[in-house]
Amino acid sequence: MSDSGAVAGSRKICVIGAGPAGLSAARALRRLGIPYEQFERHSDVGGIWDLNNPGTPMYESAHFISSRKTSGFFDYPMPEDYPDYPGNRQILAYTRAFAAAYGLREAIRFDCAVTDVAEDGDDWLVTLDDGSVRRYRAVICATGITWSPRTPQHPGRFDGEIRHSSTFRSALEFRGRRVLIVGLGNSGADIACDAATNADAAFVSIRRGYHVIPKHVFGIPSDELANTGPQLPLWLERPVFQALLRLLLGDLRKYGLPKPDHKLFESHPLLNSQLVHHLQHGDVAIRPDIAALEGSRVRFTDGTSEEVDLILYATGYDWEIPYAEKYFHWSEGRPDLYLSVFNREHRNLFGLGYIEVNSSAYTLFDHISNVVAQYLHDQDHNPSRAADFDRLIATDRPKLNGGIKFLATARHRSYVDAHAYHGYLATLRKRLGWRNLTPGMFDPDRTDAAQRVRP
């Protein structure tokens, strides 16, 4: 162990990662005066939104799938001149402006990766890539869920190029090629639209049908309409919205999309307005699952085949926390965390951002960080209340699905309904006497009141 190890900052908190989740945690700790240090392996803040960050899954045409007014950090709205669905460069500029606005950069050590986290009594020893070891009373892992590409294997031999979508950057890569996109999540749909307008031929292989939701309904961003419109019970909301989608989009089966095998809201929706347009115009075609690779051709489970020279797998990512893997209990690739953040077995080890939700993530991160920070503050200033919460972490298993029966897949294992999640956080705050986020509460920490965000 380095001699800098066991001495440095034993009462401090360690925050790993300076993407949106890590910055949210840092601001919450700073508000309560909790000392912390933050490490980021890249040269700047922004996480996946920085196209220059090695390994990012971001691509040039990527936009937020949640809208400007419903997204963003709490009490730090996106600029009014941003479009309804900001692009990746705008999101990066906004995230960096957020870090500057609250003076968060000064506590971040850039170009510094964490290689190991080890429990040592009541503390945690954090090893950095320069070999030094530091001691902390808590560690917040906020390094994200889209860094380990998942690429399935199919029988046969393929003579062309096989890549994961994490390597895709520009639509120009498709020029002069016959492209098969495998998977139709939101990234897969975006990339398929890039292929539709640039490739010689574009196909999408899918295993199931999807509920497609346009980005605008009656000229209003879909999530904004859902948040500001009347809040209906699920048994009424689902048929009303399904009828509205049929009115707006018609029967998508005539464009090759199979009928979904699940009800609306039971999986992450496909929020896309361009895909249907390209299907209607024949710029991209839907194909079923791959049965085998046959040289320059791909054979599908319905017996058809296509000649392609590029297969791009938009098949998601495996969740990992490689520097602290052994301290998390994993099931189907997802960590078992109380409220998707608190480690049940190892006190003061947190996973912030290891959650999938049917709403914008940034504001949700702030609500989670608010609870984490108050819990850490109580450990020093109200230990009995912190102990009460310790018991909840160990035993409480609330249902956070909001009555929705999410698909029984690994991806949806950690999926929560935003309304149910926020409602349960409100219950906890009231029970424990913790403060809710209120407008202006972070104002004393602002360092650039007049600065504007510039993309």
Residue pLDDT, tens place only, 19-29: 999 999 999 99
Looking only at the bridges linking them, the beta strands covering 290-295 and 156-158 are: parallel
Same-domain pairing of 165 and 244: yes
Same-domain pairing of 345 and 265: no
Last-in-domain residue among 313, 337, 371: 313
Same-domain pairing of 300 and 168: yes
Q: How far is 53 from 239, CA to CA, in rounded Å?
A: 43
Say if 451 falls within a structural domain. no
- Mutual angle of helices 383-395 and 361-381, in 10-degree steps: 130
Give the pTM: 0.92
Same-domain pairing of 199 and 336: no
Q: How far is 340 from 334, CA to CA, in rounded Å?
A: 10
Same-domain pairing of 174 and 295: yes
Q: Which domain holds residue 308?
A: 156-313
Say if 115 falls within a structural domain. yes
Length of the chain in residues, anyone?
455
Query: What does the pLDDT read at residue 454?
Result: 54
Mean pLDDT of all residues in the chain? 92
Say if 7 falls within a structural domain. no
**Residue 321 near residue 143, CB atoms below 8 Å:** yes
Query: What does the pLDDT read at residue 207?
Result: 92
Residue with token string 């000392």: 35
The residues near 424 (Cβ < 8 Å, ≥ 6 apart) are 339, 398, 400
Same-domain pairing of 167 and 306: yes
Say if 291 falls within a structural domain. yes
The residues near 238 (Cβ < 8 Å, ≥ 6 apart) are 263, 264, 265
Give the pLDDT confidence of 150-208 residue by residue, as tens digits.
999 999 999 999 999 999 999 999 999 999 999 999 999 999 999 999 999 999 999 99
Same-domain pairing of 219 and 263: yes
Q: Bigger pLDDT: 360 or 85?
A: 85
Q: Bigger pLDDT: 411 or 144?
A: 144
Same-domain pairing of 301 and 417: no
- Tally of domains within the chain: 2
Q: How far is 445 from 400, CA to CA, in rounded Å?
A: 32
Cβ of 39: how many Cβ atoms within 10 Å? 23
Q: How far is 246 from 244, CA to CA, in rounded Å?
A: 5
Token pair belonging to 297: 């051709």
Last-in-domain residue among 286, 313, 340: 313
Give the pLDDT confidence of 208-256 residue by residue, as tens digits.
998 999 999 989 998 888 877 777 777 788 888 888 888 889 899 999 9
Query: How far, CA to CA in Å, does 218 sit from each of 69, 162, 211, 270?
Result: 16, 40, 18, 18
Query: What does the pLDDT read at residue 450?
Result: 45
Same-domain pairing of 287 and 394: no
Same-domain pairing of 181 and 298: yes
Q: How far is 18 from 24, CA to CA, in rounded Å?
A: 9
